[in-house]
Structure 1
Amino acid sequence: MDKSAKFAQLFLRLALGFSFLSAVADRFGMWGAQGEPSVAWGNWSSFLDYTYLLVPYMSRALSDIAGTVATVAEVLFGILLIIGFKTRLAALGSALLLVVFALSMFVFLGAKAPFDYSVFTAAAGAFLLAAVAKYEWSVDQSIGK
């Protein structure tokens, strides 16, 4: 693998991983309060309200569970991608999670939303990362996977 490809896979791992963790941090008010510039949710309750917008076919209780499961998955995938452990599995899980999110946005918020927030692009990047043969600068590489 040439240097640019090594850097590209590392950059993609970090970009996806930190993006997941940043979104989770927003849900807990770590980027600021709801309504402040560049804050999507600002608190857990607002995030769960948004989740319900994306899955209106579920009851509110199931929607809240889905939001919690998605958050746990994002934390797990984010950490795994950043450290490069079980990278292929984390990238594939990330891609599938992002596709579900993008399709829900597309159907329930309109076609523009997932494109404006580059959700399909992130999903494509995650699928591409899952196809990489070797993960440089990773725990996977260190343990010989």
Structure 2
Amino acid sequence: MKQKIIKLFLRTAISLGFLSAVADRLGVWPTEISTWGNWESFLRYTQLINPWFPEAIIPTIGTIATIAEIIFALFLIVGFKTELFAKLSGVLLLIFALSMTFSTGIKGAFDYSVFTAAAAAFALSTYKEKYMELDSLLKNKKRDDV
């Protein structure tokens, strides 16, 4: 039972981390507690940690990252293809961490625990037993249909 609770906690924590970051860049969080506070500030930060990309494609990169974070968060919350979306989340977080490290130094990646979040996502991808996941319902439905 302990493993199931840990898996649920990992799914929830990673998902809420993604959704909180998205909410921040969309101006949902109050300005006094936000990191970016709006889309334009988020894109400036995206340019800062991705200086090797032309400025013209930064909005596309920011949009793709934001859409990925929303999709990954929602699929992890409901438990759809958990292992796959946990791995994809780990890759995305590792890209963030490495971008931060190579552009502004390792301190920011450590301070924001991005390497830790990536490791948590990769660890989540190794949990095979289903618990409170849509995949369990789909698997049972498939079995019932046979």
TM-score (norm 1): 0.93
Query: Where has structure 1 moved over 3 Å in runs of 4 or more?
Result: none
Match of 2:25 among 24, 27, 32: 27
In structure 1, the residue matched to 2:51 is: 56
- The root-mean-square deviation of aligned C-alpha atoms, in Å, is 1.0
Match of 2:70 among 47, 66, 75: 75
Contact 1:52 1:63 in 2 (8 A): yes
Cα distance, 1:67 vs. partner?
Answer: 0.8
Contact 2:11 2:76 in 1 (8 A): yes
- The number of aligned residues is 140
SS in 2 for 1:143: helix
Q: 2-side partners of 1:131 and 1:5: how far apart?
A: 11
Match of 2:103 among 104, 108, 114: 108
Percent identity of the aligned residues?
Answer: 49
Q: Return the structure number with greater helix share.
A: 2
In structure 2, the residue matched to 1:18 is: 16
Structure 1 position 142 matched with structure 2 position 140 = no
Q: 2-side partners of 1:31 and 1:78: how far apart?
A: 18
Pair member with larger Rg: 2
TM-score (norm 2): 0.93
Unpaired runs of 5+ residues, structure 2, are 141-146
Unpaired runs of 5+ residues, structure 1, are none
